[in-house]
Structures are given as structure tokens and as C-alpha cells.
Structure 1
């Protein structure tokens, strides 16, 4: 009997072993190091005959078990990473177990994605006419939105870029204020070129676009269409462009409005903060990331668009008879970059169904409250300097030291803080200063986590700063 046949015979036992390992890991998330990585020796020699599932799990435990960090835990505040809700985990396990292709309309997978997108539009208050679909993450959502914008730009000049390519269109521009790095990456992939992004000034002391400066730029184009990428939650300070004011400009100037709301879109869940998104219902395309504040597993995000005809012009599987006629038979694979993909909608369906609008309102409001608490603690401590008001869920600060040693001390502080395993934060630069950012979007995070993190922060800052004079 081969190892594969033997594993088939004992599938239930293998799943039980996997469950026990997973349960042990999840039960220790509150105690695990947030970002303290144990060095792992790589053994890149594939076995000739294989060892079977049970032995593979044991080898995994021995080689990698101590190097599993708590990126899904309550004190991982690096990047913008949510955890995995219990219901989302259920959905993800089922996704792997049933192994359905999201393009297969002969099974329930198509209906599940359609229903999940409907739930999400209701959660975010987006109009029914928006078409939504799942992609791997915010990068691919931004890529899809910009691809539609590129198609729209071409059509303004009588060219079908999806069909005929970019020839004759060397001067296409993307305009933004504080774009995420994935915007430039998407431009490179789309043939628009990273250097063709035009950055409009921000308001003083903000990361929000100066709408008057944007209008002056649009007026200077004399009717030439562009793509504008609005920020609905910048990564450093969660600042928002005035989307309503930008929408008003669309009445006078031709541009495609893409809203990058990767995590800022979840402000729609909160009565206190949903005004930040006023006007986004008039956008042409919107990015929202699911493995951030929705707290479902990697990889999952959504692209919403009010121009599905442009989507299909770009992403259709023309000439693939076995996939059917894109014009006559709707299928998500004709509206996004991927054909074969896992059923990313199911973890989201489980979590949305399990916790509802109220559950996500509580997650968002709790994270914002805790971020404000951390900001208040930082303001009260002379070792730190808050660089921006805490607008939503990210706290951006630096060490209160002289400029000539700031970068060195910030690096020392972060290295020591992350090595402590108590909390993880990331480096950044804000207003030209070396800075630190903490992003709180995990459903597990509590006030005790904030206090635990702050205690580690103060101890490490005191040790590192020692005799240095405050700025």
C-alpha cells in the first residue's frame, strides 16, 4: 500500500491530529511571541518515497513549530492584519475540504460568492448596482480597478486597450495624493509605468488631498482623461481624501475614480466614522481588503465596480469554448484577473453570517477605542511623540529625541520591541521623520493587550534613550 493510499484510509485520524495541532496553536495566541522568529534550518531535500501525513505533521512541528509567530494574535500590530474569527476558520477549513473552483457554476460555489458579495454590499452600504468579486488581496483589487480605468481611458480616445493593447497611448496618467505602494506596483504590471503617477499635494499636516490643487491639475489637462486614486485610509495615519468633494469634480472633469479603501472601508461599519466615506458610492471602482478588518484568513479581498462591461472587456476568457460565452453566461472569472481560484468567499460568508453587522460594528469600534487609548498613553509619556491624531485604528509616533539620532534610536527601539515578543509594530516615515506605526484591527485585542504592549514600550524606550536629551 502506498503512503497516499494509507493516508486515504486514515484521513479521519490525520484530520484529528491536524485539529489538535491547530487548537494548541490557537489556544496559545495570547501568550505567543508577536514577531519573535526562531531561526529555522532549511533541509531542501525532498524524500524519495515520502513519509505519510502523520509523520509530515510531526516533522513540521519539530522544524517549524517554534517559529510560528502570532500574526493572527491580539498584539500583532504590524502591517494591517486582522486575525481569523472562529467562524471564518470554519469556512476556510471547509473551503479546503470541498476544494471547489470558484469558476464552477455547476456547484454551490457561484451562489455562495454571489450571496457573500450581497452581504458585503449591505455591510458597507454600497449601492446594489455595484458588481463585486473576490481577488487575492488589495494589490490585485487595485490592479483590477486600475485595469478598468485604463480601459476607460482608452475608450475616451476610441481605443479598446483590452483588445488592441497600449500602442499609441504613451501619456496615460494616474493621479493620487498618498497612494499605497500597490498602486505603483499595479501600474507597472499594467504597462502604465510607475513613473506616470502624479502626486497632488496634501492639506497642511495631513495625508488628505488638497482638493483645490487637484482641481487645478485637472483643469490644466484641458479635458484629457486621467485615473484618480483616492485614499480611504492611508497606511500611516488612516487619513481620508474628501471623496464627496472629489466626486463633485467629476461633474466638470473627466477622470476615473478608484477608491483604495483596503481597510478604511470598514469605517462604514461604525456610526461614528462612516461619514469619512461620504460620496464613495459614486466611485467607479473600490478596493476593500478582507484579510484586514474583516478578520478572515489570507488571501482575500474584494473589488467593487459600477462598470461591469469594462471589466469583461479586460478580463474575459474570449475564445475558450469550454468556459462558455462571456456575453451570454455570467461567470466571475470573466471579471477579474484569475481563472482558477479557491472559494475565498466561504470564510467571509461564515463570519458575516455568524456575527452580522453588529458584530463587525463592535470589532471596528473596539479597535478604534483601543488605538485612541494607546495614543493617549503615548502623548502622556515624554519618551514618545505622537505624530498624527489617532483618526481610526493606526497609531503613528516616534521617539522624542534629537533629529540627528532619531533614525538610529527608532531602529534600536523597534528591533528590541519586536524581539521581546510582546507586541509587533512596523517602521515607517511620516512627514520626513523616522516613525513607528501600530495598526489595531484584530478582533481579539483588548485593553489588557494595550497595557501589556505599553509597558514593554516604556521599559525598552527608557533603556534605549537613557541619557539622551529630549528634542
Structure 2
């Protein structure tokens, strides 16, 4: 055996100990870790080593070259994008996912049967989100591939409604997509699926301060299609303002018209964990497919999301994803294999971190995380509202605060303000545009964030805006 491989194998316990020590030190100081870095610190590339260095020496090289520029993206004041912080239990599951290194596909047989962990975790997810067991689900890398998976089955459904097998024959005519404020991952999925973003028919929103579908305009557009089947992409929490479409009204329309109903509930779906906010997703169980992103509000490590597709469409799902050399005989669920139900053939045991975290903290734990984050977002929103320098661009509906500078004549320095704010390394937020105004978005999804963090963030904002005056 090659020398470094042999030495590393013999010393695996020592290697894991030093990595554990470094990981523990990082986690214990995460709240103080900078949330952004100076790009000038990025090291120059090096050449591929001929013989390698062995793991312990490589760790030293990593610590010198890259460790100092690893930002605290899992920390309590990283409010950019919608980034959850991994719970301790989910980290345990993630480490074991690497150690056991399974490829979860089948639930029976003599090979890897770790898919049973995934099946159980999906059941936990359905119970956590108060969804019926009529959904068939699985783990993928993120909301983009979850949307892709759901919309791929929707594409097959629509083809069959027109007498075609799109999985085999391809797309030969335009597919109509109705939506109001889709996330960019849905638009990307339409491109990947060959449907094209130009196929979108934009539905009006409920008002100038809303991102949700105008039900009246939706029905008018449906009538205009003259009974042509279509795909509806609705929002279970828009990314800017966490606005929810009216699922009860959409359910009524589904009873009258022929369409596939997909809900992108990447992070907003976790409103179902709280008695205070579950009304936002009332009747979402009547959708044909749902996207939920676990590395957001479930607080597990990247990459983790689930797709949920009604089990009644299992044959369409298999037609879409089955390997050409693995055709099904009879009921697809009798000889179940994930590789025939989703895009990837080779997969990590992504379900294990979620399984650990849900088992460790249960319904009450996630209820606390959701309600605490919403309370923090609302308190931050109040600070914004009462400020002389900032204003809300939209109401704080759940866990995201969308705001800008109060003085409309200072729109040209919103970007500069955010750049200076993020450069402090104390907080990280992302830019956005809402109602033609430049804005800033702060998403509260991390279990570690506290009121102390909120006050520190707001104080830092005030320091920056004072410097710009």
C-alpha cells in the first residue's frame, strides 16, 4: 500500500481526534467568526503534488491557506440567503453519513439497504409538516433539484394529458406554466427540463405590497387557456417577503380545472411546525408536489432537501427517472429503488442528518426554532420601523425582513451601505430589489440566533449609516 495511505489508515483515530478538536474549537467560537472576508486574502493556487503529504500535513496546509477565510455562515448573525445553522444532532448524522458512506437506493436485498433510513425520515418529515402519507418523498441536494424533480413529473403528467410520453418522445409543443413570483430555482428547473422560462404566464399579485397570486387573475388566465392542461407553480413563502399563496382558493380552482399544482415551500413550509403560523399552509396537502429545503429551516448541513410527490403519480415518476436498463414489472413500489424515482443514480445518505435532528429535538424542538426565529424577525422589523434611517419594504410576515434606507433619495447608496455593513464581519445580509426599490434582506433561520445578536446587528447598522451621512 502507498506509504501515506498506509500511515493514515494506521493513524485514523489520531487523525479524527485532531479534526474533532479543530471542529470543536471552530464551533465554540462560531459566534465570533467573521461573516465575510477580504478577497485579497484568497491564496494563490498551488500545483498538484506528485506524492502527496499525508492527511495530518495537509490539514496544516489547509489551516494556513484556507481556514482563515472560512466565514461563519453557520453562525447566528449570518442572515444572508436563507442559511440555517446545523444542529449538533444533524452534525452527528452528517459525520456518520460520511463514515458509513452508503448509497441509499433499495429497501430490500443483500446490498445497501440504508434507503430504509430515508423512508423513515420522509415519514418523520410528513408528520412534522402535518402532511398526509399519500406523498412519496426522497432526499436531493437542494431546492433547485427538488423543484426540478417535481416539475419533471409534472411535465410527464402534462404530456400524458395531451396523449404524449415526453420522457421518451421529448417536448414537441409549448408547455404553459402559470405563476406569480417564482423562485429563481424554479425558473432554472424549467430551463433544464427543456420547458423554457419563456413558457411562464405571469399572474398578477394580490397588490402592490404582495407577492402572492391574485386568484381572480389566475382564474381568468386559466379560462383563457380554454381547458388546456398546465402547470401551476405557487409559493409557500416567497424569498423576499415570505408571502404565501392562498392554497384554499387554489384548491377550489383545482376542483374546477385540469392542472398540476406544485408548491415551492423551500423554507416557508416549516410554518406548519407552529400552531401560530400553520394557517399559512392550510390546504397545501391538496397539491400534487411540494418542495421543502432541509438545509434551511430544518437546520441540517448542506446539501439537503426533499421532494414530495403524490404517490398516485408513481408510475409517471418512474417513467421520468427510471434507468433504461431497469424497467419495472408491476407496481413500482413493490420493488422500490430510489434511482428510479429521482435524478441521481449515486447518492449520499442525506437523510441521516435530518433523521438525527428530528429524533433528537422532535416536534417541540422545531416548533421552538420556528417561533423563536419569527419572534426575532419581528423584533428586528420593529427596530427598522422605529428608526429614522431605515424603513420596511414589506410587512414582516414570517422570518424574513426586507428593508431599505428611509430616505428615497439615498437609493444610490443602498449597495454601498450593505457593502460596508457586511465588511464589518459582524453580520451578513443579501441585496434584493422589491417594487423597483433597492433593498436588503435578512433571513432568520438559525437556531443559534438570539436577541443579543439582533441588537448587535442593529447597532452596527446605525454605526454604518452614521458614517455615510
When the two structures are superposed, what TM-score results if normalisation uses the length of structure 1?
A: 0.95
Candidates 350, 357, 363, aligned match of 1:351: 357
Q: How does 1:254-293 map to 2 (within 5 A)?
A: 254-293=258-297
Instruction: State the shift of 1:415 in Å.
Output: 0.3
What's 1:102 paired with?
104
Shift of 1:402: 3.0
**Which residue in 2 is equivalent to 1:191?**
194
Taking the TM superposition and a 5 Å limit, the aligned residue runs for 1:67-466 are 67-103=69-105, 105=107, 106-167=111-172, 170-204=173-207, 205-306=209-310, 307-320=313-326, 328-403=334-409, 405-406=410-411, 408-464=412-468, 466=469
State the partner residue of 2:19: 18
8 Å contact from structure 1 (residues 383, 462) kept in 2? no
Whole-angstrom distance in 1 between the partners of 2:44 and 2:238: 37
SS of the counterpart of 1:134?
A: strand
Deviations 1:22-76 (A, max 9, x none): 1111111111111234521132311000000000101000001110100000000
Cα shift at 1:107:
3.3
CA shift digits 1:280-317 (9 cap, x unpaired): 10000000000000000000100001122221110111
> How far off is 1:325 after superposition?
9.9
SS at match of 1:256: strand
How far apart in 1 are the matches of 2:67 and 2:316?
Answer: 47
Distance 1:453 1:332, change over 3 A: same
3-state SS of paired residue (1:89): helix
CA distance in 2, matches of 1:17, 1:325: 50
Aligned to 1:469: none
Does structure 1 residue 32 correspond to structure 2 residue 38? no
CA distance in 1, matches of 2:269, 2:157: 24
Closer/same/farther in 2, CA of residues 324 and 72 from structure 1, 3 Å limit: farther
The alpha carbon displacement at 1:318 in A equals: 2.9
1-structure distance, mates of 2:54, 2:252 = 62
Name the SS for the 1:452 alignment partner: helix
Q: Deviations over 1:343-374 (max 9, x none)?
A: 00000000000000000000000000000000
- Decide whether the 8 Å contact of 1:82 with 1:294 is kept in 2: yes
The whole-number CA distance in structure 2 between the counterparts of 1:360 and 1:178 is 27
TM-superposed CA distance for 1:323, in Å, is 13
* TM-score, normalised by the number of residues in structure 2: 0.96
Which secondary structure state, in structure 2, belongs to the residue aligned with residue 437 of structure 1?
strand
Residues in 1 aligned to 2:423 and 2:210: alpha-carbon distance in whole angstroms: 32
Aligned-residue RMSD, C-alpha:
1.6
Distance 1:141 1:52 in 2: 38
Q: Alignment partner of 1:388: what SS?
A: coil
SS of equivalent residue, structure 2 residue 49:
coil
Alignment partners' CA distance in 1, 2:122 and 2:408? 50
- SS for the counterpart of 2:342 is coil
1:324 Cα offset (Å): 12
